[in-house]
Structure 1
Amino acid sequence: MKRLLLLLALASQALAAPQVILLKLDDVVARRVGTKPVSDRWQKTHDYLIAQGIKGSFGVITESLEKDNAMYFQWLKDVQAAGQIELWMHGYKMRGASDTGEFEQGTAAEQRAILAKGEKLAKEKLGFSLPAFGPHWSGTTDATDEAMEGVPEVKIWLYGPAKPKFFKRLSIPRVMALENPTFVPDAEKFIAYYDKHAAQKDVLVLQGHPDQWDDKRWDGFTKILEFLKSKGVVFMTPSGYLKKSQTPPTP
């Protein structure tokens, strides 16, 4: 009887648990010109999330860590140290329109070298590893799956397969994004799709590209976040969700 009551209590907790949202915001690089570490749009996104108390994650193109840039590196360090926004690895190269996706080609060893290079740069330039990964403008292959298993620093695959063949850590599939179409946070489209396809999911990874948001797109982004807050969701960092998923519920 005690075991049955415990199981019922755990089931009740699971049903009552709020949906977890992981904001996957892509393509952090250093500002190309000027005296600021990142673009005004990235800074605006950062400041908004901090002011609203919303946790999220920023995907760093690790090629941006190659050239010494003390101001940019310090910005990244400060973002990570504050604990509200987590940095993650968004591949190495910023893809051009004529390029093939970085993780759509190459052997597992070649792709593992790309991931390992990104982790090495993060440790050398920032002083910490990047525990989550999602490719920049690229599909993935079985070689990616195998490569990731060989890079122990990578513990979370954002928009990964539901059942990876090789990767034994946390993989969270794509259900939807913040944007529809890409680069355009459209609150009306988001809400319609969310209500139909995503409202009952335990966790959602929501991708967006802040550097592409003009004022109209920004307005769509903030309306989406207000809608999600009205649903009682919990915003987490990828590592925060990993820790939660590994922690047994309290009886």
Structure 2
Amino acid sequence: MKLLRSLAFFCCLAFAAQAQESRPQVILLKLDDVIARRVGAKPVSDRWLKITDYLKTNNIKGSFGIITESLEKDNPVYFQWLKDIQKEGLIELWMHGYHMRTAKDTGEFEQGTAAEQRAILEKGMKLAKEKLGFPLPAFGPHWSGTTEATDEALEGVPEIKIWLYGPAKPKFFTRLSIDRVLALENPTFVPDPAKFKATYEKNAASREVLVLQGHPEAWDDKRWAGFLEIIEFLKSKNVVFSTPSEYLASKAQP
């Protein structure tokens, strides 16, 4: 009887290991820097509308990082566009910092105490709740490194469940942190399929989940073609495209 129980136990372990190995890799498209269109009746730039239409047409899930400063001024057309995206469920909105910095600025999360950085996060969260009606469940800094203070600050904002491109082992943050392995672009703003494929095969093919950063506002026709080639390459690997929150929910399942 003991032998039978032992055999059953090891069979279960082998089955679980095989199931784990057979699970497809999860891709989180981390698309940065959503702000309102500065001129005209459209909610955002044509390039943001283009990537949105592409994801919807091809039923590809992704996530858009909002610069929360863009929620300050009353802008019903922009707000409704964001609300509609979130409601549809294919694209998730997340917090990409408050200020759209320039080269002269220091990154918001490269300086300041945990309390000061937490205030930035809470300001953005408050705007999202007031203007959009929902919190932003993930965070990734805009053009900024992070410090130990960021780690501590994030732990103090319970609405933020996921840290995109966070440390593999945070000191304070007790929720989901996914580190950076590669991006859609190399160098920044340039989706280069050859470089992406080489880096993917070398460093990323065996990872359970990959966060892939890109900046659609910077993609001209050539860069857009590079992005499309990267997506087709990922499809050939039988990956699953997910939103951050959807991936987090899957972690809670056996």
- Which bracket does the TM-score occupy, shorter chain normalised? over 0.9
Offset of 1:117 from its aligned partner? Answer: 0.8
Partner of 1:100: 106
Partner of 2:215: 209
1:13 aligns with 2:26: no
Distance 2:135 2:41 in 1: 27
**Aligned residue runs from structure 1 range 147-162, under 5 A:** 147-162=153-168
Highest CA radius of gyration, 1 or 2? Answer: 2
AA partner of residue 77 (structure 1): K
Distance 1:246 1:140 in 2: 28
1:44-80 per-residue CA deviation (whole Å, 9 max, x = no partner) reads 0000011111000000000000001000000000000
- Choose which of 164, 177, 182 in structure 2 pairs with 1:171: 177
Q: Structure 2 stretches of 5 or more lacking a match?
A: 1-6
Worse-matched range after superposition: 194-203 or 164-173: 194-203
SS in 2 for 1:5: helix
Runs of 4+ with >3 A deviation: none
Cα RMSD (Å) of the superposition?
0.6
Worse-matched range after superposition: 149-158 or 187-196: 187-196
1:13-43 per-residue CA deviation (whole Å, 9 max, x = no partner) reads 0011110000000000000001100000000
Partner of 2:186: 180
Partner of 1:246: 252
Q: Structure 1 stretches of 5 or more lacking a match?
A: none
1:226 aligns with 2:194: no
Partner of 2:63: 57
TM-score normalised by the chain length of structure 1:
0.98
1:99-158 per-residue CA deviation (whole Å, 9 max, x = no partner) reads 000100000000001101111100000000000000000000000000000000000000
TM-score normalised by the chain length of structure 2:
0.97
Partner of 1:34: 40
SS in 1 for 2:224: helix
SS in 2 for 1:184: coil
Offset of 1:2 from its aligned partner? Answer: 2.3
AA partner of residue 185 (structure 2): E
SS in 1 for 2:203: helix
- Choose which of 118, 121, 124 in structure 2 pairs with 1:115: 121
Distance 2:200 2:131 in 1: 39
Partner of 2:3: none
**Aligned residue runs from structure 1 range 121-140, under 5 A:** 121-140=127-146
